């Protein structure tokens, strides 16, 4: 069984989201903001960011899958659940759990930018800049982290651990020990 070593606790996550919500609220005051939650990993971050945002906004969903059940990217990105008409004329803020190679966010940002939206920007809870393969820089970022595979607060390993209230590093047991 893998174990999880705490990395960012729930209080620290909540405080950071409060700061981000203030910044985003000022940037999007009087603009038709839609938070586009990237499922599944972005569900808790989007819920908390939405509740902390001091301005009116809508919420929409897109499902992106770039991983199988493991910790290695397959390189393939699939999208569904997106209703493009919902984003017409909106200032779209894509809400992602984590930017790793950058492939998922790059394809999504390009796809959304090709729609008749007013603007599109990227908000990510976590960034692993050391793993980048495609140039992507989040406009709003929670935390930059080292190259660990992390779980909790929406992030999974084989669909487990999403419900943890904190973010932790997944430590695989060494079969030799």
DSSP secondary structure code for residue 160 in this structure: B
Give the tokens for residue 21. 């919500």
Among 13, 41, 82, 117, binds ligand IMP (CB under 6 A): 41
Non-local CB neighbours of 21 within 8 Å, separated by 6+ positions: 49, 52, 53, 54
Q: Please tell me whether residue 50 binds ligand IMP under the rule CB under 6 A.
A: no
d(CA 37, CA 140) in angstroms, rounded, equals 14
For the CB of residue 73, give the shortest distance to ligand IMP in the complex, in Å. Answer: 5
100 is a catalytic site residue = yes
Among 24, 37, 46, 97, binds ligand IMP (CB under 6 A): 97
d(CA 4, CA 23) in angstroms, rounded, equals 31
- Listed ranges 6-14, 23-31, 149-157, 169-177: which one lies at the site for Mg ion (CB under 5 A): 149-157
* Residue 150, contacted partner among ligand IMP, Mg ion, none, CB below 5-8 A by kind: ligand IMP
The three-point CA angle 156-159-161 to 5° equals 50
Residues with catalytic roles = 100
In the complex, the residues that contact ligand IMP under the rule CB under 6 A are 41, 66-67, 73, 96-105, 149-151, 155
């Amino acid at each position: 069984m893998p174990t999880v070593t705490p990395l960012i606790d729930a209080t620290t996550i909540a405080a950071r989201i409060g700061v981000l919500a203030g910044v985003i609220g000022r940037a999007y005051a009087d603009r038709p903001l839609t938070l586009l939650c990237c499922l599944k990993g972005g569900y808790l971050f989007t819920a908390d960011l939405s509740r902390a945002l001091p301005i009116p906004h809508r919420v929409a969903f897109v499902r992106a899958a770039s991983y199988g059940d493991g910790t290695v990217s397959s390189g393939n990105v699939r999208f569904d659940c997106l209703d493009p008409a919902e984003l017409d004329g909106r200032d779209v803020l894509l809400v992602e759990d984590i930017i790793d190679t950058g492939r998922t966010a790059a394809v999504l940002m390009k796809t959304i930018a090709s729609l008749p939206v007013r603007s599109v920007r990227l908000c990510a809870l976590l960034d692993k800049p050391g793993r980048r393969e495609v140039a992507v820089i989040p406009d709003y970022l929670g935390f930059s982290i080292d190259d660990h595979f992390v779980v909790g607060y929406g992030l999974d390993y084989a669909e487990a651990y999403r419900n943890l209230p904190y973010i932790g590093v997944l430590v695989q047991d060494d079969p030799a020990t």
